[in-house]
Structure 1
Amino acid sequence: MTGARDGPEDPAATRVGSRPPGRDRASATAPTAAAPTRTAAVRRWSVRAALPLSLGLWLLSLRSVPLDRMRDLGLLQVLPPLFWIAAALLTFGFCLALSDRRTHSAWLTGYVFGLIALLHATPTLLYPTLRYSWAWKHLAVVDAMLRHGGEVPHADRFSIYNDWPGFFQLNALFLRATGLDSAVGYAAWAPAFANALLLAPLLLLYRSVTRDRRLVWGAVWIFYSCSWVGQDYFAPQTFAFLLFMTVIAVLFRQLPSSALPRPDPRRRGGWPPPLLAGVVVLVAAIVVSHPLTPLMLISALTALSLPRRNRRVALPVLTAAVALTALWDATVARSYISVHITNLVRSLVQPDENVASGLASTGNAAPGQILLSWIDRGLSAAVIVLAVAAFVVRPWTRRTGLPLLAVAPIPLLAANAYGGEMLFRAYLFTLPSAAFLVGALLLPSGARQRASRPLVVYPLFLALLGGLVFGYYGKEAVNRYTPGEVAAARYVTDHAPPGSTIVTLTSDVPGLDMGYEQHRRIQLAHQSTKDTERLVRHPLAGVTAFLYGATEKQPAYVVLSRAQDMNGYLTGTLPADTSQRMRAAMAAAPGFTLVYADEDAVVYRYVTPPPGGGTP
């Protein structure tokens, strides 16, 4: 960047103008041009070498990771130093690539995909089974909808999925078309795949508000470095968020303030009919797949409609989103809405409690989990503070519409607790616009921006990435399942007759929800305070209170496993020895039969003993 541009501005260069052109002038300018050329070549080859080298180190670091040693900090405490060296080198290579305007976009794309692989493919490569209990639950829903050809009867706590079945029906259609038996094979790769797909709408969104390539890619990197919430697994929210971002990105492409040239320069706003029809189809897919995302979309479109210049673009989509959501909620989802309308109304008058519900108490949690909670909060607060600072010191960002998009989730944050997760979901929907604002603050556009600026912010990029891995990897001691735990759950689902009762301490048993419409599930840690206190004082009485009436035709099964024990330890919901005391009590109690045993899981079958304590 210091070659031809700096030459004419050098006073020494102007003084040689009186000399006759020839060998002397060429020899005077050659040394000045050679140094930048060599520097540029070194930088270019460094960019090309850092990416494959960092990815190679990352893969080497995964060869021997002692997963059984995970405790308070999950993967953080077992990943070897080579992993962190790879992450630091990858970040440095990206900053180096960003500092050179001649770096081809393919290399920037490669670095971002490398970051996605390092962050989101690591658990998939390390674990022999699918991670995270909710991913297993969603597999069970797809399986149930396949077996019933649609709506699942007697769904109980899973009835919400009958009212928003889009994601599950799409997967069922894919399984029928491919002949696969289950989605478990590709569900494990959902985090990496979903994040990779998200890159396209992010690029379209950012390129719609600036032509500064450095800022666009810097904002993309910041987004992936701060997305700690973990809503990227095999879930309707993952699918709906990807569609949400696609709708918003295409909409920004049509806004009058878009930095991208329009296909028809004579059009001063509005939609080409085919494109609007496609966007409405995406909105419909969101509406039928997830209860919260349509409301987030309506809130975002309402905010973007506030400036008059945007209304020709935003209002048609907003009208479609409101109409489709109202129609769906009044018909298909009416059963769920009617039951929960009282809670919704109560939430509207308690906005402070809705916000506070996301800040869960950490008093009984493990020390490492308390640390993780504060780091998560600190990273989120840092992103918001930096975004606000950009709004103040970068006036041009106020005209982009991104600040409106960033504050759009606030009304929903105050309106509903969403099971204590609304604060996290609001951060998720705020992050795409907030990441761009942070990028605008750290990587200012214009002629004054120095090539070395990305290298200056390298420590901050590392800090953001460090905050992310705490939130994203810190609970892996619970999210990871061993083959023995999967086998224990499969034993129960294969042998439990319809109408059986299945009892666990927590929900952390992979695959136990298969056939959920046929069985009664009880999670002891989630019962009333009176019931959990009885379980702690008298484990046998605490579990048998939920088992009376079990017969040979409809027995009860009690499943205890490593992940459940770890959940109790990390959250502090139950004493660490609860599972061990339960095993000892059931082993000597009438009616209980040990039917499966593994170093990571045990299953007891229970049939109520007849009066007098004889054999049932």
Structure 2
Amino acid sequence: MAGAVSVSAVSVGVRRYAPCAPLPVAMVLWLLSLRNVDLGGMGALGLLQVLPALYWIAVIVLTVGFVVTLRTPRLGQGWLAGYVLALIAIIHATPTLLYPTLRYAWAWKHVAIVDAMLHHNGLVPNAGDLDIYNQWPGFFLLNVAVLKVLGLSSPVAYAAWTPPFANALMLVPLLLIYRSVTTDRRIVWTGVWIYYSVSWIGQDYFSPQAFAFLLYAWLMALVLRRLPALARAPGEPAPGRPPDRSAHGARWHGGWGWSLVPVLLLDAVIVSSHQLTPLMVISGLALLMIPRRNRRVVLPPLVGALVLTAVWGATVARPYLSANLGTFVSSLASPDGNVASGFRSLGSAAPEQVLVGFVDRGLSGTVLLLAVACLVLRPWTRHTPFFWLFFSPLPLLAANAYGGEMLFRAYMFSLPAAGFLIGALVHPNRRGREAAPTRWSGPRKALLPVLMLALLAGLFFSYDSKEAMNYYTSDEVAAASWMIRNAPPGAAIVAVTGAVPGLDERYYEHYEVVLVSTPPAIQQLLVADPRSALFYSVGFVKPGTPAYLILSRAQTWELRLTGELPADTVARLGDAVSVTPGFTLVYRNADASVYRFVVS
């Protein structure tokens, strides 16, 4: 009898935790899939071409397991958190584990800025165009402090882990934001999963934007948690407070007191770290102020955000704002142009990247359509803060092009709200409870994992398809490092594109020329006569100055993928200088070459 009871208990335990089994299985499959990945086989679709079938099987197993666990109420939400963290690892830790070096040119640039501040008492010396980092230094100074505490010489030691780390940290404020509106775990966790499944913009690398966006999420979480009950799902009390017994559920008003201090501190760090995010904070809070019931809660942080942003702009950031005031004013007069600036022509890109461009637009459009569909089909969501937060980037989208990136940033800042709305769309909620089963319940349950996998497919296309130019081999890093170390102060550094790791290192000692960013006349000459274009590009440098030209694998791939210049430009330039007197090959390895010449 005792044996039978024991077997029965084991059987119950197995049935209880069976939905959790896909999590460890998926993680093992993922780790096994990363063995012997041939990074040299990456082509016009990046990692998509070299990740093995086992990797994609792990994604499917993880997604199905998440849906099953979501539908098993007896399992604690810790399991759901485990599935989400596993998804973050599969998406964002894969490049970090596979690549021997830090990926992405802008991450290397930010490493160079931190290094400069570390060695120059917190300032970017001889800044020129980089003076913007002196005017918004918060992120960089924080890293300088971290380096001093840890005894490190450069953030490159940990910068590669920023994408998985930043996305994992984002989970906590996301949960706080979603739970400020509903306690329905299906909506909350589906919204979280959707958020990570459609966040393809790629602003999670080592950057002030990633840092400020995380703080933005925390700030909004603190504000939303204090909103009155009518700002939440029908029938659900404010978190941590008794249900509202008033006639309309809207008479609760909480003063901020000392609890406003963390909100203002978060905003102060945001204001000192990034140009755009403080404006997104103001726009979001301003729209949350529209419902009268929210005003007592939202007004203090909104006033604080306005004051902090204005003071910073009038003092530390005044040089940049004064120099660009005319551009800001002219942008206000062309809202259609600001929106259209994000729709770049795909005609010159590689055919595979044209496909990726359409996938990007399709994924973004699908997300926005599903979110709007929720607002139409789930009326209660229109009375929540997510209605306002979803549309909060629109004023800034209409006001400024932000270098052609505002459309992407608007999408990014709308994603937390969009994720929740899609979660509410696929899980009908009736006064905080699940709707009664209908004849459509079965098909809906089958469609949920299909929708999740379809969105993830779009994410992988968008997020991993440019890795041929974002990935740097050890040889490329070695070549760039050798060039920067050996170029004497005052020398000119020339590259065809910015896809050179460490190109900005010790920038204050060198002139820097990126040929793809030169005036159109020089670019046209580069196509017709690469050698002459090279000399024209350094014409502003004093004659007799030594110059170094670096040609590398990633630069070739950037031109192939983007089409900014003919794909063979790097090879043709290399052929031209290799037979030209005065050019000396001073360094070469499998993926990069460095030539030295003298400006004449």
Partner AA of 2:309 in structure 1: T
Pairwise CA distance, 1:550: 6.4
**SS of aligned partner of 1:521:** strand
Map of 2:290 onto structure 1: 306
Map of 1:201 onto structure 2: 173
Partner AA of 1:144 in structure 2: A
Does the 8 Å CA contact 1:551/1:607 hold for their aligned counterparts? Answer: no
Structure 1 residues 271 and 135: alpha-carbon distance in aligned structure 2, compared to 1, 3 A threshold: farther
* 1:566 matches 2:560: no
Does the 8 Å CA contact 1:550/1:607 hold for their aligned counterparts? Answer: no
Partner AA of 1:198 in structure 2: M
Structure 1 residues 539 and 391: alpha-carbon distance in aligned structure 2, compared to 1, 3 A threshold: same
Partner AA of 1:492 in structure 2: M
Pairwise CA distance, 1:581: 1.4
* Uncovered stretches (5+) of structure 2, i.e. residues with no partner: 1-7, 245-250
Q: 1:146 aligns with which of 91, 106, 118?
A: 118
Does the 8 Å CA contact 1:156/1:517 hold for their aligned counterparts? Answer: no
Structure 1 residues 264 and 97: alpha-carbon distance in aligned structure 2, compared to 1, 3 A threshold: closer
Return 330-339 or 41-50, whichever deviates more.
41-50
**SS of aligned partner of 1:154:** coil
Does the 8 Å CA contact 1:219/1:436 hold for their aligned counterparts? Answer: yes
Map of 2:468 onto structure 1: 477
* 1:113 matches 2:85: yes
Map of 1:18 onto structure 2: none
What TM-score do you get using the length of structure 1 for normalisation?
0.90
Pairwise CA distance, 1:264: 8.8
**SS of aligned partner of 2:352:** helix
**SS of aligned partner of 1:288:** helix
Q: 1:526 aligns with which of 517, 521, 535?
A: 517
Partner AA of 1:384 in structure 2: L
Q: 2:258 aligns with which of 265, 271, 274?
A: 274
CA shift digits 1:323-381 (9 cap, x unpaired) = 00010011100111111111111111111111111111000100110111111111111
Map of 1:331 onto structure 2: 315
Partner Cα separation in structure 2 for residue 583 and residue 605 of structure 1: 12
Partner Cα separation in structure 2 for residue 444 and residue 464 of structure 1: 20
Q: 2:377 aligns with which of 393, 398, 406?
A: 393
Map of 2:164 onto structure 1: 192
* 1:493 matches 2:484: yes
Structure 1 residues 56 and 173: alpha-carbon distance in aligned structure 2, compared to 1, 3 A threshold: same
**SS of aligned partner of 2:567:** coil
Partner Cα separation in structure 1 for residue 20 and residue 284 of structure 2: 40
Does the 8 Å CA contact 2:227/2:294 hold for their aligned counterparts? Answer: yes
Map of 2:216 onto structure 1: 244
Partner AA of 1:83 in structure 2: Y
Map of 1:290 onto structure 2: 274
Return 341-350 or 442-451, whichever deviates more.
442-451
Map of 1:379 onto structure 2: 363
Pairwise CA distance, 1:48: 2.1
* 1:357 matches 2:358: no
Partner Cα separation in structure 2 for residue 449 and residue 287 of structure 1: 47
CA shift digits 1:473-493 (9 cap, x unpaired) = 011111100011111111121
Partner Cα separation in structure 1 for residue 373 and residue 92 of structure 2: 30
Map of 1:157 onto structure 2: 129
Partner AA of 2:524 in structure 1: E
Return 205-214 or 511-520, whichever deviates more.
511-520
Map of 1:10 onto structure 2: none
* 1:183 matches 2:167: no
Map of 1:602 onto structure 2: 593
Structure 1 residues 591 and 495: alpha-carbon distance in aligned structure 2, compared to 1, 3 A threshold: same
* Uncovered stretches (5+) of structure 1, i.e. residues with no partner: 1-34, 610-616
Map of 1:466 onto structure 2: 457
**SS of aligned partner of 2:110:** helix
* 1:411 matches 2:395: yes
Report the identity percentage.
54
Partner AA of 1:69 in structure 2: G
Partner Cα separation in structure 2 for residue 304 and residue 549 of structure 1: 52
Partner AA of 2:488 in structure 1: P
Pairwise CA distance, 1:172: 0.2
Structure 1 residues 97 and 454: alpha-carbon distance in aligned structure 2, compared to 1, 3 A threshold: farther
Partner AA of 2:222 in structure 1: V
CA shift digits 1:118-143 (9 cap, x unpaired) = 00000000100000110000000000
Q: 1:97 aligns with which of 61, 69, 73?
A: 69
Partner Cα separation in structure 2 for residue 70 and residue 479 of structure 1: 11
* 1:261 matches 2:248: no
Does the 8 Å CA contact 1:505/1:560 hold for their aligned counterparts? Answer: yes
Partner Cα separation in structure 1 for residue 502 and residue 191 of structure 2: 38
What TM-score do you get using the length of structure 2 for normalisation?
0.92
Partner Cα separation in structure 1 for residue 545 and residue 86 of structure 2: 51
Does the 8 Å CA contact 1:95/1:455 hold for their aligned counterparts? Answer: no
Does the 8 Å CA contact 1:492/1:512 hold for their aligned counterparts? Answer: no
Partner Cα separation in structure 2 for residue 323 and residue 270 of structure 1: 22
* 1:502 matches 2:493: yes
* 1:45 matches 2:32: no
Partner AA of 1:63 in structure 2: R
Pairwise CA distance, 1:265: 8.5
Pairwise CA distance, 1:547: 3.3
Pairing of 1:13-28 with structure 2 (within 5 A): none
Partner Cα separation in structure 2 for residue 386 and residue 340 of structure 1: 37
Does the 8 Å CA contact 1:208/1:260 hold for their aligned counterparts? Answer: yes
Does the 8 Å CA contact 1:592/1:604 hold for their aligned counterparts? Answer: yes
CA shift digits 1:416-462 (9 cap, x unpaired) = 11111100000000010011001100112224265965554110010
Map of 2:4 onto structure 1: none
Indicate the RMSD between aligned Cα atoms, in angstroms: 2.0
Partner Cα separation in structure 1 for residue 365 and residue 12 of structure 2: 38
Pairwise CA distance, 1:598: 1.1
Larger-Rg structure: 1
Q: 1:317 aligns with which of 292, 296, 301?
A: 301
Partner AA of 2:555 in structure 1: Q
**SS of aligned partner of 1:284:** helix
Pairwise CA distance, 1:43: 5.7
**SS of aligned partner of 2:404:** coil
Structure 1 residues 242 and 449: alpha-carbon distance in aligned structure 2, compared to 1, 3 A threshold: farther
* 1:78 matches 2:27: no
Partner Cα separation in structure 2 for residue 477 and residue 558 of structure 1: 21
Map of 1:28 onto structure 2: none
**SS of aligned partner of 1:318:** helix
Pairwise CA distance, 1:608: 3.8
Does the 8 Å CA contact 2:545/2:599 hold for their aligned counterparts? Answer: no
Map of 1:511 onto structure 2: 502
Structure 1 residues 265 and 389: alpha-carbon distance in aligned structure 2, compared to 1, 3 A threshold: closer
* 1:593 matches 2:593: no
